[in-house]
Structure 1
Amino acid sequence: MKELGIGIGWRPEIADAVEALDGVEWVEVVAENLCDGHLPGSLERLRARGVTVVPHGVSLGLGGAARPDPGRLAALARKAELLGAPLVTEHIAFVRAGGPLTASPSLEAGHLLPVPRTRDALDVLCENVRIAQEALPVPLALENIAALVSWPDEELSEGRFLAELVERTGVRLLIDVANLHTNRVNRGEDPARALAELPVEAIAYVHVAGGVERDGVWHDTHAHPVTRPVLDVLAELASRVSPPGVLLERDDNFPAPAELAAELDAIRGTLAAARPRPLLIGAGARVSGGAMPARPTAPAARGTRVPAPRSPAREPEQHTDPGTDPGTAPAGARQRVGLAQAALLSALVAGTPAPEGFDARRLGVQSRSLAAKRADIVAKVAPELPEILGAGYRPAFLAYARHRPMSDGYRHDALDFVEGLLVAGRPADPAARRALTAWWRERAGIRPPGPAARLAHRVRTALGRGVTAP
């Protein structure tokens, strides 16, 4: 796998700035934001200049209890081929829960949620990774995520969880040092311990991003400058191994190009000052002077895995049924993980009680954060709604989201929100209500709800989603 160098997350809002920045050797693009068979002109120009473009997925939910959706995998494979990418990346997270596996309503988080670090969850994740690897035309790397909440009764540390994932699947790692810092503040986890336990020789590249602390909780916003503590974690990682690539992420509240350039310079300076030292990695492999173990020089063929270098001294316990492949989850593991994840997600997005063992206050912080993110993204997907509703948009959406979990993406969420307002005879201003009705009619493709439809909507909401009708 090629050395990537210093890169930045490509976003449409900063496309011109990214093209003009000096020393950008590669970019990463959110895979779900690309259309099949078509690239934005900015990405075409970057590729023509020899800049590598890596697709970064956010919707697979490989840490979820269900097997990966074949359609989502096929879409990610097409993006990799469209970009000529050397690898694709995703997250160790779950993004949806419920459904047939748990005989409960299907729920969407609209966000990356942490996987419990248990043997069951690891078994399910390993099988899902194996399925994804077989469907993708290039190697896969997975990212550690930030979290506001901790699962009770976890059996593995983050570093050990990642190490065993690599041992059992050969998947590579995308290490986000900002997420390691977030978990230090929010969950008391030591980034140095995680780096000492995980196989740093398996790192494909590194993310660096900004955030902000409020009331003792670190929010990984990707909308604030990179802080010194995050750069310190990068320095700790770089003292252990020379990362093949480091990328600056910025997703909102975009600064002037000069500020982006300054953050890239700070990353370069941090890497230059951190000289990799000889040390034992994990339990046995040695990296000296920044030399990396040999990696494949060309993308793997479809259906093959790219194994990360193994440490002969590390022999993790395999939690599998006798005689089964270590990439196969034992019987019952999926349902156990599914029930646990559905209970957590329901508490976060549907107002059900906090599952036993969770910090109810911290779940409340996460729940409000998810609702706020939904409001922000719906406002971007449907910018007409804040224009029509004005200052009333946000409180109305948050009231709607409190007991109305998302089930089918943000565009459908916007339609559901507006339908609920119209059913309730809102907004009070006749002109705004007419504008909202016209917006809903154009996108729903049907007549706005009359009295009979309003009654049916209330009944469907109360019975189908298990919430009280307004």
Structure 2
Amino acid sequence: MKLGIGIGWRPEIAEAVEALPGIDWVEAVAENLCPGHLPASLVRLRERGVTVVPHGVALGLGGADRPDPDRLAALAARVAMLDAPLVTEHIAFVRAGGPLTASPALEAGHLLPVPRTWDALDVLCENVRIAQDSLPVPLALENIAALVSWPGEELTEGQFLAELVERTGVRLLIDVANLHTNHVNRGEDPAVALDELPVEAIAYVHVAGGVEKDGVWHDTHAHPVTRPVLDVLSLLRSRVDPPGVLLERDDDFPPADELAGELTAIRGALAAAPSTPSSATPSASVPSVSGERLSRRPADAVGTPGARGRTALAQTALLSALVAGTPAPDGFDRRRLGVQGRALAAKRADVVAKVAPELPEILGTGYRKEFLSYARNRPMSGGYRRDALSFAELLLAEGRPADEAARQRLTLWWQERASSRPPRRARRLVRSARAALLGR
């Protein structure tokens, strides 16, 4: 299906998106849409014939657990509501722990990379098949950006994606900004990845901005698209004519004319790229970086249950180090883990401020410092709204904030959302201990 040029629809730029010229389609975050309550802007776009594609962020198909049936049903409902031709998700894990590891469940609040190993591939492929059976339209999966590299990886990114496509028939959503991010952060050549992956399986392409700080590229989706990212887009276009290309922006939204300028730059990069070679054909097997054929391990050769257990332990150890302050697993770059952990905490602070804007209003300039202190060794386990309540509970249990008027406002805010009585330290400790024993 030919999609054309699109932009990520967000409520903050809904009016701008409707007014932008030459927009063929939009993509909306699936979890932000409520069945039966489609935003008026998306209704108007659909009435104009603009295709809307739901883009999921919460399935965690790269995680050790099988996909949650309720999450799959919710995603399928959004597909039906939008009459979408396809649905997309990520090759990532977003939670770990739980029954497979007999440990408390942890949430990342972010997309984290899966190890490019045969074990992780076995698990991912089975999860993808489960998802495909539950969704009414084709599924496409996105490569993600990463600050950290897993030790002992057995495949390159291109090889991993090629094997995934061959085993499952899933489509690919290639994010060229993420290829650039992995080039800066992990030394991976985007051209090599594009040569190895099956470009004929691409459903569409993401383009987004970021920023480099202290030698680390942060895929922020809150900065303008840079020339190196557009260069990767041109590299991709020289290999295949993608069915669709979409500009993503998730924060610090610029004026409409700047968005239009970025779309113009994207069109220019596509037009300036060399023509796609007419001899390009799907590869019969997956080459290694050296050009030799990759020696494949048979799918599920050691049994998916065993692969799930090993993947669960590895992912839980990594996520615990990032969000709970446990020691870094062997083989990881500890400095990079520190950067990633701080980035996750900062994102939690930003999202909690959005879902509970009263908290930074009540706490003032001290909100961010207080929240980051709270988050340092307290992993998220029940979503951002529960995270906001837990943060408020901690402050109140410790008799904070010091300002009595602010503390009364915070107490009232908490009471309206959680309980008729402010939390006391003893009751909070008992509840935390009970949750730990139950593995929640």
Q: Name the TM-score class by shorter chain.
A: over 0.9
Q: Any conservation in 1 of the 2:241–2:276 contact (CA below 8 Å)?
A: no
Distance 2:345 2:244 in 1: 34
Partner of 1:348: 322
Q: Shift in Å at residue 36 of structure 1? A: 1.5
The answer on 1:319 being equivalent to 2:318 is: no
Alignment partners' CA distance in 1, 2:285 and 2:315 = 34
Is 1:457 matched with 2:428?
yes
Amino acid at match of 2:243: P
Find the counterpart in structure 2 of residue 85 from structure 1: 84
Find the counterpart in structure 1 of residue 128 from structure 2. Answer: 129
Letter in 1 for 2:179: L
Q: Deviation digits for residues 387-422 of structure 1, max 9, x if unmatched?
A: 000001000000000011000100000000000000
Equivalent residue runs for 1:361-400 within 5 Å: 361-400=335-374
Aligned pairs for 1:286-435 within 5 A: 286-287=280-281, 311-313=283-285, 317-321=296-300, 330-435=304-409
User: Which secondary structure state, in structure 2, belongs to the residue aligned with residue 233 of structure 1?
Assistant: helix
**Residue 201 of structure 2 is aligned to residue 230 of structure 1:** no
Query: What SS does the aligned partner of 1:108 have?
Result: strand
Shift of 1:311: 3.8
Deviations 1:76-115 (A, max 9, x none): 0000010000000000000000000110100000000000
Q: Which amino acid in structure 2 is aligned with residue 319 of structure 1?
A: P
**SS of the residue aligned with 2:104?**
strand
Q: Which amino acid aligns with 1:455?
A: A
Letter of the 2:323 partner, please give it. Answer: V
**Partner of 1:275 in structure 2?**
274
Q: What SS does structure 2 have at the residue aligned with 1:204?
A: strand
Cα gap change, 1:65 to 1:321, in 2 (>3 Å): closer
Q: CA deviation at 1:447?
A: 1.6
Percent identity of the aligned residues?
A: 76
Pairing 1:188–2:159 present: no
Are the counterparts in 1 of residues 122 and 300 from structure 2 also a CA contact under 8 Å? no
Alpha-carbon offset, residue 454 of structure 1? 1.8
Deviation at 1:275, TM superposition (A): 3.0
Distance in 2 separating the partners of 1:404 and 1:200: 42
Superimposed CA distance per residue, residues 241-295 of structure 1 (whole angstroms, 9 cap, x where no aligned partner):
0000000000000000000000000000111111333276xxxxx25xxxxxxxx
1:149 aligns to 2:148 (yes or no): yes
Q: SS in structure 2 opposite 1:404?
A: coil
CA distance in 2: counterparts of 1:95 and 1:235, whole angstroms: 31
Structure 1 partner of 2:290: none
Per the alignment, residue 220 of structure 2 pairs with 221
Matched, 1:177 2:176: yes
The 5 Å alignment of 1:153-164 reads: 153-164=152-163
2:50 corresponding residue in structure 1: 51
Query: Structure 1 CA distance, aligned partners of 2:381 and 2:278?
Result: 48
Aligned length, in residue pairs: 430
The within-5 A match list for 1:237-256 is: 237-256=236-255
Which runs of 5 or more structure 2 residues have no equivalent in the other structure? 287-292
C-alpha contact 1:123 1:319 (8 A) present in aligned 2: no
CA contact (8 A) 1:119 1:319 kept: no
What residue is the counterpart of 1:306 in the other structure?
Answer: none
2:261 corresponding residue in structure 1? 262
Gap change, CA 1:211 and 1:123, over 3 Å in 2: same
Which of 401, 405, 415 matches 1:441?
415
Distance 1:108 1:197 in 2: 32
SS in structure 1 opposite 2:305? coil
**Cα separation, 2, equivalents of 1:398 and 1:376:** 10
Q: Distance in 2 between matches of 1:368 and 1:94?
A: 18
Distance change >3 Å, CA 313–CA 165, structure 1 → 2: closer
TM-score by length of 2: 0.95
**Partner-residue secondary structure (3-state), 1:332:** helix
Cα RMSD of the aligned pairs, angstroms, is 1.5
> How far apart, in 1, do the equivalents of 2:184 and 2:273 lie?
23
CA distance in 1, matches of 2:285, 2:10: 42
